[in-house]
Amino acid sequence: MKEQDISSSEPLRTKKREKAGDQDGKISGKALGRTVEAFMRLPGIGRKSAERLAFAVLGMPKEEAAGIAQAIVDLKNSSRYCSECNNITEEEICGICRDVKRDQTVICVVEEPSNILVLEKTGTFRGRYHALLGALSPLDGVGPEDLKIDGLMHRLKAGGVNEVIIATNPTVKGETTAMYLAKLIKPLGISVSRIAYGLPVGGDIEYADENTVQRALQGRREM
Ligand SMILES: [Zn+2]
């Protein structure tokens, strides 16, 4: 069964100059090359990892491989952004926004919906979120109108929120976005705070870069 699947595509080792196989000559076959290139589009996946994944898929029973492909198709077909906070959801409003037990007075602003998942895993934040779907980057031509800032301001002006925690990334873009938002939100009489940066838990100060140590010092709290 497995052998049949492989040979039903291009015969291996006959096409040497496929895009994905150019560098090392190890990969040949149109379908395999396409799969490797498809995996390489994912964040954090280089050529080596992509090849490993492609071969792993090749070694799977057909149904299992089809299951992966189907999961991706379903994800794209059924997922949408929450109309309230831009989290990923299959409904109009996401589970977090619908949860009446969550603190309605605090909104945590993040860049991407994936950040919500990370924060939720900590279990420490019980308010609601707002994903901007990006960060300000004047050099790349990304301005406030390209982000979901209007939606955030609309939520804040509707009342009931008295604190906004800005959890954009500790990058130039994230900082620019945080400062822009603070200027916009403070006049509404809402308290604005920025998440603290610090040293990685279990890490050693010796190995942290100066910027991180500086931020950790600035973000200190009383004990
Ligand atoms: Zn939501």
- The DSSP-derived string for the chain is -HHHHHHHSSPTTT----GGGTTTS---SHHHHHHHHHHHTSTT--HHHHHHHHHHHHTS-HHHHHHHHHHHHHHHHH-EE-TTT--EESSSS-HHHH-TTS-TTEEEEESSHHHHHHHHHHT---SEEEE-SS--BGGGTB-GGGTTHHHHHHHHHTS---EEEE---SSHHHHHHHHHHHHHHGGGT-EEEEPPP-PPTT--GGGS-HHHHHHHHHT----
Same domain flag for 147 and 212: yes
pLDDT at 27: 58
User: Tens of pLDDT along 199-209?
Assistant: 877 778 888 88
pLDDT at 128: 97
Check if the beta carbon of residue 184 is closer than 8 Å to that of residue 177: no
Q: How far is the CA of 95 from the centre of ligand 1 (A)?
A: 7
Q: What total of structural domains would you count in the chain?
A: 2
Same domain flag for 119 and 193: yes
Classify residue 155: in a domain, yes or no.
yes
pLDDT at 12: 43
Q: What percentage of the chain reaches a pLDDT higher than 90?
A: 71
User: Tens of pLDDT along 12-68?
Assistant: 444 344 444 444 455 568 999 999 999 999 999 999 999 999 999 999 999 999 999
pLDDT at 26: 53
pLDDT at 94: 97
Same domain flag for 115 and 30: no
Same domain flag for 122 and 40: no
Q: How far is the CA of 167 from the centre of ligand 1 (A)?
A: 16
Same domain flag for 145 and 198: yes
Classify residue 83: in a domain, yes or no.
no
Q: How far is the CA of 110 from the centre of ligand 1 (A)?
A: 12
> Does residue 161 have a pLDDT over 60?
yes
Same domain flag for 52 and 108: no
pLDDT at 217: 83
Q: How far is the CA of 58 from the centre of ligand 1 (A)?
A: 38
Q: What is the CATH classification number for the domain harbouring 168?
A: 3.40.1360.10
Summarize the confidence of residues 86-112 as an average pLDDT: 96
> Does residue 91 have a pLDDT over 80?
yes
Q: How far is the CA of 19 from the centre of ligand 1 (A)?
A: 41
Summarize the confidence of residues 166-188 as an average pLDDT: 94
Q: What percentage of the chain reaches a pLDDT higher than 70?
A: 87
Same domain flag for 183 and 107: yes
* Domain ranges, residue 169: 101-218
Q: Does the global pTM surpass 0.85?
A: no
- At CA 136, angle to CA 133 and CA 137, rounded to 5? 120
Summarize the confidence of residues 123-131 as an average pLDDT: 94
Query: Which of 78, 113, 135 finishes a domain?
Result: 78
Taking ligand 1, which is a single-atom ion, which protein residues have CB atoms under 5 Å away? 82, 84-85, 87, 94, 97
Same domain flag for 139 and 174: yes
Summarize the confidence of residues 82-92 as an average pLDDT: 96
